[in-house]
Chains A and B, each alone.
Chain A
């Protein structure tokens, strides 16, 4: 490669324009659309009934307190982040009486939301773990593939969603877990599976746990919706906690993007549950070597907000109420949409909209139908048929129902 001056050929000539990200690109397209009636059901970002982004009250109060606190400064955080945040985040997902915490077998590092936590964990595994292979559910959040691949791990999939039943392909999942090379990394959505909204039952989780432990696999939880699935923080942590309770090791990537509405602040944590405090200490030292050449240390603002909310009894209680409010509004939108489709006599069984858990609905619409809905009705959603229920309101439900109805009945615009 030889760089030359402006007039001659560029060393960058071989570069192509990359397409927009399949999920985040929906917002890009939505923003470009001048049509007033457009609706963004693409990215999983909560909207109020008025269709506006929401800053939680507890977040606003936390920020006011932080700004008024003269003792606060902007000095570099340690490489693994704000200690208080790490401690409280771990307690949130594991429970404060978790054996991993009590026995000090845990290392937690503040990372850049869910994505950053997954990536740092993946990089660590690529360097220090013998089986450089991770299994992702089919389907899964689109970005999972590149996160693990760019870290240097091979990626395979396990069966998860059953198109016919619109539920969990439990047998297929257990078969694929059983067939995976011993010690494989198994990525699990802790709750509110993205994009399907289909979660295992507690009994199924137990079967999954046994299958994973029997093969000596390493579970890697992606927990981006704690509190959003059932409305209860503890209930939504159940699967993770049963894995930790059996004494085995696991990785957990936590995000506070959705449940505290801190999307753009990029707050999350990677927790690694190991067998002993000695291992945990050494693992932590190696995590720092992954993080330092990536971004040196994590951003302070969002983590400070979370630490304040988690550490203050009043703020924490208020948070649980706001969280339940968001989860309830989503459930109410599910009902409204279902009722609207029934009212229109839209062909098909739409009960999956009611049964699915969390922020998204996996509608079952295909790519052509989605493109039709975007073109003719200005409904912005991902091509896999996923819609963010959090982006719906009483005003926009009728439009969406019309669009779905038209797409399904093959109506021409």
Chain B
């Protein structure tokens, strides 16, 4: 028998560090302490800290099973009913962009996969163009851009002094970028800070992009989840679309429909003409085919069924409001707990002002480490906590942990 080579070809492959976000849940699982709290990944939990499958999702899956729909390959661009529904959800069904066919929508693998398609498109068709991402931003944004080979740099965003938006710095950095850059913007509920521009600030940002010929690329992972209203949470995207921008928008249904593991989202490109939209769509397909051929059907059907049935759609809206409401509730309780325990006069109101699933506490890495090591509170090292993983019962405990880490650890 011919002998194979003795040494592995991959002997020199080094051990990669665990993912900074997903790795947190793995560490949490390994912890046996009874007081442990997982505020790592942004996955919604009930007041009992259990994962939550939306009732409308259960109903939709029941319907799908009863209908016995087949499992044929979707087209490369995904389920047509889903693509129509998702574009309409984003822009409003009566939006002229939709009516005129000025949008290319391709079903993608949740937010990540949709961002990846958009980024790969930019790498191929706008070679050399830079993408600007906020400082800080979701950690995986950098990886996506690096892997497709798109140059990127950061624009100032978080102001640690105010624990708010560094609006001046943001505008300066957008101004300073080469004309025709791509600016990655969070549609609502900025991740990790929870800090969103005001409507006036959004207008000013749009003015700046227009001035510089920049292209917006919106990451919309929390539509409906931030305020509880699908329309309100889409206002930034709709504002830019109405101003005639050519733009990319990545959508995810992981959080707002709780479809995390089904990997359902979309990449949208808004263009000036339907002809351009058709061409762009055809080229997006060319990027998807050698990556995974066509997207998974299950999550797409769930979304299409929920959105396509007015009763289910109303129920969805109610469940979304419930989820957003629970998060606002824990923000309030946490704030009150911090206020009652910390008599130094420090302003903790950013907890209330921040929007969405996350709070950027302002804790440093070593302070965050203390949260985990001493208090068994799991969070990402940038100081981000997921309020979706907090319940009213644990607010006191968390407040103690935050105060101890903030004041006693340098």
Contact = CB atoms under 8 A, between A and B. Distances in A.
Contacts of A266: 292-296
Interface string B317-357: 00000000000000000000000000000000000000000
A79 B293 CA distance: 20
Given A11-B246, A214-B2, A295-B116, A3 B298 contact: no
Instruction: Identify which of B72, B74, B243 gathers the most chain A CB atoms within 10 Å of its CB.
Output: B72
Interface string B83-99: 00000000000000000
A344 interface: no
Instruction: Identify which of A3, A143, A210, A218 gathers the most chain B CB atoms within 10 Å of its CB.
Output: A3
A274 B10 contact: yes
B189 interface: no
A18 interface: yes
A264 B73 contact: yes
A288 B19 contact: yes
A249 B261 contact: no
A61 B376 CA distance: 41
A74 B45 CA distance: 12
B263 A21 contact: no
A296 to B, nearest CB: 4
Nearest to A211: B2
Given A21-B76, A263-B73, A292-B19, A74 B51 contact: yes
Given A74-B57, A299-B298, A246 B4 contact: yes
Contact of A265 (B4, B11, B260, B296): B296
Contact of B283 (A15, A262, A295): A15
A163 interface: no
A377 to B, nearest CB: 23
A283 interface: yes
A373 B113 CA distance: 39
Contact of A24 (B7, B76, B245): B76
A17 B283 CA distance: 7
Interface string A275-299: 1100101110110111011111111
Given A116-B291, A209-B2, A75 B43 contact: yes
Contacts of A248: 4-5
B244 interface: yes
Contact of B261 (A60, A143, A299): A299
B285 A6 contact: no
Contact of A6 (B43, B244, B261): B244
A167 interface: no
> Chain B: interface residue count, which band?
35 or more
B277 to A, nearest CB: 9
Given A12-B125, A128-B13, A3 B215 contact: yes
A2 interface: yes
B278 interface: yes
A147 interface: yes
Nearest to B41: A76
A257 B296 CA distance: 11
A28 interface: yes
Nearest to A276: B8
B280 interface: yes
A295 B112 contact: yes
Interface string B1-22: 1111111111101111111001
Contacts of A282: 10, 13-16
Given A63-B65, A292-B143, A264 B74 contact: yes
A301 B126 CA distance: 36
Contacts of A14: 125
B140 interface: yes
B16 A11 contact: no
B53 interface: yes
B19 A79 contact: yes
A290 B4 CA distance: 27
A10 interface: yes
Interface string B283-301: 1011101111111111100
Given A128-B13, A129-B9, A292-B19, A24 B215 contact: no
A302 B299 CA distance: 11
A216 to B, nearest CB: 5
Given A18-B286, A282-B10, A302-B296, A249 B258 contact: no
A146 interface: yes
B261 A21 contact: no
A64 B65 contact: yes
Given A76-B22, A265-B298, A299-B262, A246 B276 contact: no
B110 to A, nearest CB: 7
A263 B271 contact: no
A12 B263 CA distance: 28
A374 interface: no
A382 to B, nearest CB: 15
B109 interface: yes
B71 A265 contact: yes
A172 B257 CA distance: 55
20 contacts: A1-B126, A3-B213, A4-B213, A15-B125, A21-B285, A55-B68, A59-B71, A60-B68, A74-B57, A116-B292, A143-B293, A209-B2, A247-B4, A249-B4, A263-B73, A285-B16, A292-B22, A293-B147, A294-B116, A301-B296
Interface of B: 1-11, 13-19, 22, 26, 41, 43, 51-53, 57-58, 61-62, 65, 68, 70-76, 109-110, 112-113, 116, 125-126, 129, 140, 143-144, 146-147, 179-180, 209-210, 213-215, 243-246, 254, 258-263, 269, 271-273, 276, 278-280, 282-283, 285-287, 289-299
Given A11-B246, A112-B109, 12 more contacts: A16-B283, A55-B71, A74-B258, A76-B41, A149-B290, A264-B297, A266-B293, A275-B6, A279-B11, A292-B143, A294-B113, A302-B296
List 9 tightest A-B contacts by C-beta distance, closest first: A248-B4, A2-B213, A275-B8, A264-B297, A146-B290, A295-B109, A300-B261, A112-B292, A293-B143
